[in-house]
């Protein structure tokens, strides 16, 4: 059994705070700060340029990728780190399109994170493809024989709705298309199984449930059947077969390493590597069971004590990720009042209160505090206070 | 007068090491480690998600960009940070191409850093453009009326040869083309003046002469006349006019902020921000004068004491950046012997010994030690030792 009391102790959680926003930014694993300080003091400072070899900076994107592979049902050597999620979406989508010559349709849904749609829009404009966006529940029916790529985020960033990755991938394959999955709200949250689902490409970020820190690097996975054929539009020297030959012409590296672009972000990868230590010994089935236990307890508590809010997530935990959202007409102010009371979730327009349950550090005590605080705020209409209606630049 | 003894003290320079490879990776400014530890301990740990507003993470790419703007002859609000240099090349090049509809030729030279050429090759393949690569000395003559974009790295990464940015930009404009400049070996090394040269786009990295750490984020500059018209293929939510409206359709932000893509790398930007403190009070004309003083002294010393090597850089300092290279038939082994003796430069195939002079921390003592050590190694043929012929993975 995974020891979740031990994994909770691995994080710095501020006193008096119940943190239910790890689906936006995970808290700091206590080891991360010292690890980064050591990297800066012992490696950068002392090794200087020789750190690329001596400290292993050069191979870090692949080594950290291997650690993530286990959490998403991928094999060693199949995942590489770098850049940001949007950039990895661009690479995977352009590579997938190129693998389906003669087809130009990209299908996505309105539950996808907007940045993925912006990336697809920019790419489609450039290469003459067409982006079709349907409602999440219409995706299955919209998979047609003209489809090149099905591009979905597995878990909806607002509702927590989880797509059936295996079924939709199979349907896409049946139509002759490829499937690209964004795991932003899945990796470290649910029991992802890319190999079992037979997906083609996957991408994700590491600052949510993987706790790599604000703006931590992204990952990209290519199924081995495509890894040596994939040719993304965005290609750079670190993805070259021989970067240090400094050839004038590009020749892609074998496998997923061709998805590397520029010089890797060593400091950020070091923080992430420390954050991944917490995952050693965590079983994905235990993770999934704990996630369901926490979210089910939260829904039951809120529905028993907070009559003014409406569940905005699927009721069936099998169809949810690790987050739960509720709607309230004064959602923004309610969330500000909650944050002021030490319960941190977040708000998504127009009226969504969003709560993430990170199995590594959230527990039933967090659930109880969140339910009680929300109930009190709604009962006392604390949110009516003018100060809770002022909008900040970033919410 | 800039106090270069004070700026030198701002860096951690390992004992016994003469570091002449800041053109590849700058050393650590001593303040950087504590600054990052504070960001992790006080901001990420304690503020959690609220750090995006409270700690200013969200506006950091623009604020750090403003600090770099001064070093490259750009105005406030014209530079934004993020991603890597290769990715910023891709954005700038795609935006420049789109501003010259009907023209499809990208002109570059064989002295450009290969990654820029790989990026251009991938983009050209996708959008049906043509990449022409000529020798550096042939660039001027190759600027023709079918040209869409002139894409050059100002300072050659091997020879240190500096292009005449103003003249080549004017020639490109005369042919109806735009000019994109890569400042990887210029920013923080020479007196760059983008506004004076009337350039159109510029990009650069910050881990060389700007000392932001291994894999530090890149910068991108758009001339104000293009900033609201530029439409890069690669677009993401942080470049949206209203990222937190989560609209399904993309609407670019005003100005250079549209060049932002995904979530910014906060830890890395914090290290860079600390590194930029060292630049406060440094005048670019003093910087250039010091760079020339150091490189001229090095060339004079080597030519006087090392008859076996041949200068591989322009002799006229006005045509050089802040690095100098020499050729030797056993260049690889000579550089390994130099490194073993505490003088760190680097090697570029087939026979180039490369030495960077960073005015902020290198001094005439470094020059003397490097000259004497090189002279001794060549005189004693120390490089003959078998151990200096073993190749490492990354050189």
Whether residue A48 and residue B123 make contact (CB cut-off 8 A), yes or no, is no
Catalytic residue set of A: 113, 182, 207-208, 354
**Residue A295 marked in a binding site:** no
- Is A394 part of a structural domain of the chain? no
Contact A77, A188 (CB under 8 A): no
> CB distance A48–B14 less than 8 Å?
yes
In a domain, B324, yes or no: yes
Contact A24 B49 (CB under 8 A): yes
- Choose, out of B15, B113, B118, the residue to mutate when testing the contact with A (most A CBs < 10 Å): B118
**Would the ipTM clear 0.90, i.e. be above it?**
yes
Contact A190, A288 (CB under 8 A): yes
Q: Is A395 inside a domain boundary?
A: no
Residue of A nearest to B16 (CA): A46
CATH number at residue B361: 3.90.1150.10
Q: Which residues contact B375 (CB under 8 A, 6 or more apart)?
A: B302, B305, B306
A-proximal residues of B, 122-181, CB under 8 Å? 122-123, 125-127, 133
Alpha carbon of A246: minimum distance to chain B alpha carbons (Å): 6
Q: Per the CB < 8 Å rule, is A268 touching B263?
A: no
Residues of A whose CB is below 8 A from B213: 40, 44, 266-267
Q: What is the mean pLDDT of chain A?
A: 97
Instruction: Name the nearest CA neighbour of A96 among A19, A179, A23, A31.
Output: A179
Q: Report the C-alpha gap between A382 and A360 in whole angstroms.
A: 31
Q: For A246, which of B40, B127, B349 is closest by C-beta distance? A: B349
- Are residues B197 and B344 located together in one domain of the fold? no
**pLDDT score, position A392:** 62
Q: How would residue A395 be classed by pLDDT, with cut points 50, 70 and 90?
A: very low
Q: Are residues B154 and B38 in the same domain?
A: yes
- The reply to whether A263 sits in an annotated binding site is yes
Final residue before a domain boundary, out of B277, B312, B338: B277
The whole-angstrom distance between A102's CA and the closest CA on chain B is 14
Strand partners, A261: none
Judge whether A247 is annotated as a binding position.
no
Examine the domain organization and report whether B259 and B345 are in the same domain: no
Question: Would you call B122 and A27 a contact, using CB atoms and an 8 Å cutoff?
Answer: no
| Gap from A205 CA to chain B (nearest CA, Å) | 10
Q: What are phi and psi of A31, to 5 degrees?
A: -70, -15
Q: Are residues A294 and A233 part of one domain?
A: no
- Please give the Cα distance from A220 to A198 (Å, whole number): 15
Q: Is B11 exposed, middle or buried (0-12, 13-18, 19+ CB in 10 A)?
A: buried
Residues of A whose CB is below 8 A from B234? 86-87, 90, 119, 122, 234
Given a cut of 60, is residue A394 above it in pLDDT?
no
**Are A311 and A299 spatial neighbours (Cβ–Cβ below 8 Å)?**
yes
Query: CATH number for the domain including A134?
Result: 3.40.640.10
- The share of chain A scoring above pLDDT 90, in percent, equals 98
* B 185-244 residues inside an 8 A Cβ radius of A: 205, 207, 213-218, 232-238, 240, 244
Q: Is residue B309 part of a domain?
A: yes
In which domain, by residue range, is A288 found? Answer: 4-29+281-389
Mean pLDDT for chain B overall: 97
Per-residue pLDDT of chain B (395 residues; tens, 9 = 90+): 999 999 999 999 999 999 999 999 999 999 999 999 999 999 999 999 999 999 999 999 999 999 999 999 999 999 999 999 999 999 999 999 999 999 999 999 999 999 999 999 999 999 999 999 999 999 999 999 999 999 999 999 999 999 999 999 999 999 999 999 999 999 999 999 999 999 999 999 999 999 999 999 999 999 999 999 999 999 999 999 999 999 999 999 999 999 999 999 999 999 999 999 999 999 999 999 999 999 999 999 999 999 999 999 999 999 999 999 999 999 999 999 999 999 999 999 899 999 999 999 999 999 999 999 999 999 999 999 999 998 765 54
Please state, in angstroms and rounded to a whole number, the distance separating the CA atoms of residues A202 and B217: 24
pLDDT tens digits, B178-204 = 999 999 999 999 999 999 999 999 999
> Is B395 inside any structural domain?
no
**Do B187 and B93 share a structural domain?**
yes
**Same domain, yes or no: B82 and B195:** yes
B58 Cβ contact list (under 8 Å, min separation 6): A393, A394, B52, B264
B297 and B343, same structural domain?
A: yes
For residue range B38-97, what is the model confidence (pLDDT) as tens digits? 999 999 999 999 999 999 999 999 999 999 999 999 999 999 999 999 999 999 999 999
Residues B181 and B294 in one domain: no
In a domain, B229, yes or no: yes
Residue A131 and residue A226 share a domain: yes
Put simply, the answer to whether A45 touches B24 (Cβ < 8 Å) is no
The reported pLDDT for the residue numbered A390 is 85
What confidence tens digit (pLDDT) does each residue in A277-291 have? 999 999 999 999 999
* DSSP secondary structure letters along B17-65: -EE--TTTSPPPBHHHHHHHHHIIIIIIHHHGGGHHHHT-TTTHHHHHH
Classify residue A369: in a domain, yes or no: yes
Do residues A25 and A54 both lie within one domain?
no
User: B68 and B8 share a domain?
Assistant: no
What integer is the mean pLDDT of A2-13?
Answer: 98
Q: Does the structure show a pLDDT above 90 at A45?
A: yes
The last residue of one of the domains, among B223, B258, B277, is B277
Does residue B264 sit at the A interface (CB-CB below 8 Å)? yes
Q: How far is A44 from chain B (nearest CA, A)?
A: 7
B369 shares its domain with B313? yes
Among the candidates B219, B254, B277, a domain finishes at: B277
B15-46 confidence digits (pLDDT tens): 999 999 999 999 999 999 999 999 999 999 99
Q: Does any domain span residue A234?
A: yes
Number of domains in chain A: 2
Which has the closest alpha carbon to A284: A361, A188, A219?
A: A188
């Amino acid at each position: 059994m995974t020891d979740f009391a031990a994994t909770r102790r691995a994080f710095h959680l501020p006193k008096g705070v119940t943190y239910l926003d790890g689906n936006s930014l995970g808290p700091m694993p206590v080891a991360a700060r010292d690890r980064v300080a050591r990297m800066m003091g012992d490696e950068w400072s002392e090794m200087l340029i020789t750190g690329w070899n001596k400290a292993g900076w050069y191979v870090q994107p692949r080594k950290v990728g291997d650690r993530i592979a286990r959490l998403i049902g991928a094999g060693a050597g199949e995942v590489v780190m770098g850049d940001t999620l949007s950039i990895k979406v661009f690479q995977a989508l352009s590579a997938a399109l190129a693998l389906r010559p003669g087809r130009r349709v990209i299908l996505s849904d309105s539950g996808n994170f907007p940045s993925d749609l912006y990336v697809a829009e920019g790419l489609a404009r450039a290469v003459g493809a067409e982006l079709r966006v349907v409602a999440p529940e219409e995706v299955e029916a919209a998979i047609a024989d003209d489809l090149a790529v099905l591009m979905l985020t597995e878990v909806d960033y607002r509702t927590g709705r989880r797509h059936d990755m295996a079924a939709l991938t199979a349907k896409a394959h049946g139509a002759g298309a490829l499937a690209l999955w964004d795991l932003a709200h899945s990796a470290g949250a649910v029991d992802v199984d890319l190999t079992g689902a037979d997906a083609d490409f996957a991408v994700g970020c590491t600052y949510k449930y993987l706790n790599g820190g604000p703006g931590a690097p992204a990952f990209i996975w290519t199924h081995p059947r495509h890894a040596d054929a994939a040719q993304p539009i965005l290609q750079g020297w670190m993805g070259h077969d021989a970067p240090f030959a400094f050839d004038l012409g590009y020749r892609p590296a074998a496998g997923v390493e061709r998805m590397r672009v520029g010089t890797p972000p060593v400091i950020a990868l070091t923080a992430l590597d420390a954050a991944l230590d917490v995952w050693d010994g965590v079983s994905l089935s235990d993770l999934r069971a704990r996630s369901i236990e926490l979210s089910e307890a939260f829904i039951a508590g809120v529905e028993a004590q907070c009559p003014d809010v409406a569940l905005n997530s699927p009721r069936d935990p099998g169809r949810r990720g690790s987050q739960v959202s509720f709607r309230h007409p004064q959602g923004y102010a309610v969330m500000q009042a909650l944050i002021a009371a030490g319960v941190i979730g977040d708000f998504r327009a127009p009226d969504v209160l969003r709560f993430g349950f990170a199995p590594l550090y959230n527990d039933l005590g967090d659930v109880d505090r969140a339910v009680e605080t929300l109930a009190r705020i709604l009962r006392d209409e604390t949110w009516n206070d003018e100060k809770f209606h002022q909008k900040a630049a970033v919410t």
